[in-house]
Each structure stands twice: as structure tokens, then as C-alpha cells.
Structure 1
Amino acid sequence: MIDALDLFCLNFFLLCGVASVETEIRLSVMEGDSLTLRTGLTELQRDDEVEWRFGTSRISTITAGNITNDDETFKDRLQLEEQTGDITVTNVSHEHSGVYQLSIIIRNKKSNKRFTVTVFAHLPIPVIFSDSSKCSSSPERSSRILLCSVLNVSAVSLSWYKGNGVLSSISVSDFSVSLSLPLEVENQNKNTYSCVVNNPIRNQTTHLDISQLCHACSDCNLCFDSAEAVVRLIITAVVGVAAVTAVVLLANDIRTVVKEQTIKP
């Protein structure tokens, strides 16, 4: 939103006859939210003109009291407030990131505004895995590797926290990638850890209590998290079903052979 100082400066330049003044504003919004871009004016007069552009395309105008929406990129998402000239884009998506240009002409005096808008995708919840294959076999220091992962993210940071302190962090810029960040902890550690993914607007956190993991790593083959346990149970069930099926088929074959031998003279 424009503050009182920006509004004062805009009206001052307009009333004092300066040919043109330009203001630049940077905004960030989450995908699916609404974005409102404000002219800073309280009321337009009939002879005032307002023009909004997105990139090089004209998207909305007010001329002589007539309102026109021109750009198909926004379809039914674009709303223009007739009294002030403000525009609102509802349910924004990544394609609405970019530069919006505003031109206002009041009593033949022109002012410009430039809005640089960044639309961020919703953040996934970080998933923590326990890599039991890397458990330390040393009886003096039984430890394991935890792996925190997020999929298909861009312009985010992924961090491990111990309490309120950052232990490690990794960042990615504009490309959609999957991130993973390892952390080695001791099984007897009583601290609470958390994995956080964040962008400039929001964050998602997964908390971890070491005591919730298996307490000993003397036999790493017995240490696995719930996701791995489910996979192992599924594999065991499939193998069991296959074994039972094989036994049934073998029994049927034996019965068939015995029956044929009995029938022979």
C-alpha cells in the first residue's frame, strides 16, 4: 500500500505542474492470493485518465469515465476500481509476475508508477528421512544421518535448526528443483531439531525430536523410519503372496499328476 508521504509527493507534483514523476514499488505475493495495485488517489474526476500496462500490453484504462479491460492474460481475474483507478488481480499465478506500469493524467499533468511484482509458489512441507545405512557402528558414538527434503521449489532456502539457531542452510534461485540437506545427530541427543523451508513471504517447518527415532544403532538394519518401514512391509507382503501362490500351484500340479497316474491301466 502507498503511504502518506508517497501520496503527498504525488499530489504535490501533480498540482505544481511538473510534467512527469515516476515512482517504483516492489511487491511480493503468494500464488492464489489477490494482488492490489493502488494509484494513491482518493477520487478521479471525469476528465482524469488512468492507464495500466503489464509489460508492453495495455490491460486497463479509464478515459472520460469509461472503463476498458484489454488484456486476455488476466481474463476474469482483473478488477478495476472506478473511483480511485486501483486494480486488483484475483487468484494470481506465476504468469502474473512482472512489471506493471501506471500512467495518470490529471489536468494535463502526467505521473507514472512502476510496480515490480513477484509471485511465489506455495511452499511444500519439508520431509525428514532417516538414513540408517549411514549409522555409526562405534559404540562410543552412535549416530545417524537425517535428510530433509523438499520437491519442486524455487527462490527458497532450506535450513536445519537446533532450537532457534541455524545449523546449516542451502538456497536456490529461480529454477524449480528439489533440495535436500543432511544433518548428523547422535541417537542419545535430547535436543529438538527443525527443518525449515522459506521464501521472502512465508515458511514451512517440520519439527523433529530425536527420541522419536529408534534409540540404538548397533544394528543399522533394524533402524529405519516409518516410510522405509511401510516399503519393507509392502515388499514382505508381496513376497508372501507370491510364495503362497507358488505353493498352491505346486499342490495342484501334484494332484493332477497323481490323478493321471491313477487313471492309467
Structure 2
Amino acid sequence: MEGDSVSLNSGLTEMKDDDVIQWRFGDENTLIAEINKRADRITVYDDVLDGRFRDRLKLDNQTGSLTITNTTTEHEGRYKLQINSESKRFKDFRLDVFGLESVMEGDSVSLNSDLTEMKDDDVIQWRFGDEDTLIADINVTADRIIVYDDVLDGRFRDRLKLDNQTGSLTITNITTEHTGEYKLQINIEIKIFILFVFDEVKSVSVMEGDSVSLNSNLTEMKNNDVIQWRFGIKNTLIAEINKRSDRITVYDDVLDGRFRDRLKLDNQTGSLTITNTRAEHDGDYKLMFTDLMMYSEGRFSSKSFRVSVYDSVHCCGPTEAVIRLVLSALVGVATVIIVVYEIRSRRAERDQAHIHTSGSIEI
């Protein structure tokens, strides 16, 4: 997903003393990173290709694997690994970067083509779902703009708007049936977006320093399930479970490390627990779930949580403030009742003792 990190694995467990590893990108095989064990040198080339990889490349000194952080669609393409040791070896990778959008039901969302202006011979097509159903297109040469309202049982009727200058697509009055994969084809280039539509946001409150659990509502994850937890308006990936590769990952270093040592994932249900909460953990959390069958059909599932973190002085909202006030009042009343009861009990005991003493004297 756009904004995430991805690691391209060299397949080595350890580099040898005379190994030279080179990573190249694109059709022109531009050198972007290398390790030369003979010269004890590690180099990343930040300034090539207009700086698109600047501050994004990390090389593993032990294995030579390459990690690309904060990916964008301009990092899509072919990566070639060349290992020069006793004999030359090559590995090829094809990286596809998906745009990720999330929106509440009833809102609008724009899927950006990244064009500033279309050319005279451009043809743009927007497709949806696993069957690549054509929902809108622009043919500049033929001076034609079409939205296909009647496809897919009319689910996009009166909801699609195309920007005549850029080809970007806006979907209005969204419902959950618009969740899925959108494919933009500009001539021969393809860009993919994953759109999640949330029908509700569950509000959760937690006192600062306490823990809070966000429930996936799954009883058990299956072998092909993938769960991702994302945070904030940029949908930053903070934790995921990939049952296909038997991997559980929490991303401690994202967002300046605000979640470091605070995230726990339930391997059975995918639920997320945040421990020792702070004010900086206040915000929107999104659960994005799919399995192999759902993905092949272009279907995804999602849940949204709004976590409010409050301290002991400042409550999280007027409703809770009223509840706390009522509870405090009830506790106060209960305390008064106990005190009054105690006073009356002691008076009764004292009077009883006085009567008993007086009675003894009279006898």
C-alpha cells in the first residue's frame, strides 16, 4: 500500500567477504544501492531519478536485502538484484504500489490520476472489482467522456464525476458496496487504488495510562487471512497479521515511535490492544481485513474505531462528565447515609448502656 514499507529479500543468510551486491531499478537499470564487501562500502544513491528514493532506501549489511520506506506509486516497477561472488546471480522483483483511500458512508472520495493535464492522445479508463468492469472513460482524441451508470446493477448511478483536465475520478454519496479495487489505466500505464468504506465508527474511551482493546469481532482467523491495523488520516500501518506467510508484525518506529512497545496483536482473532495509552494515541484506528477468496473477488472488510484518551482531570466528553458527576453524587449520598447510620447506632448503644447502668443502680 502507498505509504507502507516493503522489503525485497536477497535470499542470502549472510554475505561473504568478497561479495558485491547491486540493486537496480526500472527499464534503464538505474543503480540505486550497493554493498561492496571487498571495499567495506555501503552506498545508496539518493539523487538518481529526480530523488524519488531520497531517504527511503535501507540496506541490510548482513544479507544485502533492500527495504523501501514510505512508498509511493512512482516506486512501482522492476527491481533487479545482482550478486557478484564466485559467479553472478540475478533476482527480479516486480513492485506494485496501491493507493489506499478510506471514507465514511455517505461521503465523497477523489481518486487522483496524478496528472496535471491530459495530452491530446490520452485515453483514460477507470475499472472496478475483480472483473475489471469499465465504469468511466475519457478519450481525448475522440473528445468523449463517458460514465457507465447502468453497470453492476446501477451501483454507481449518479455518483461518478470525471475531471476533464486530469482524468481523476470522484465518487459521491458512497455506500459500503463501493468498497473494493479501482484500476486506472492511462494509455498503457496502470494505477490501482483500494477503497474502504466504513458504515460506522465505534467510539472508545480510555483513561491515560490504561490499556484499550479494539475488537475485530472474529472468533478465529483462517489460513489465508490478512489483517491490517492503520492509524490516523494518513492510514499509517501500525500492525498486521498475515496468515498466508505466518507473520505477525508491529511497526514500532512509525509516527516517531509513538506506539513503541505498546501494541499487542491477538494471533487468533486479530484484535489489537494498546497499552499505557497517551494523548498522542487519541485518534482513528482502522481495521482492514481480507482473505484470499475475498481478495480474488475484489472484496474487503473493514471496521473503524475512534479512540479518545483522557486524563483524570479532563474527561473525554459531556456524557461521561454527567455520568461521573452522578456517580460522585451517589457516592456522596451513600457516604452521608453511612455516617448518619453510624451516628444513630452509636447513640442507640450509648442510650442502651445508660439505661442498663441506671437500672443497676436502682436495684
TM-score (norm 1): 0.48
Bigger proportion of residues as helix: 1
* Bigger RCO of structures 1 and 2 (CA < 8 A, at least 6 apart): 1
Bigger CA radius of gyration: 1
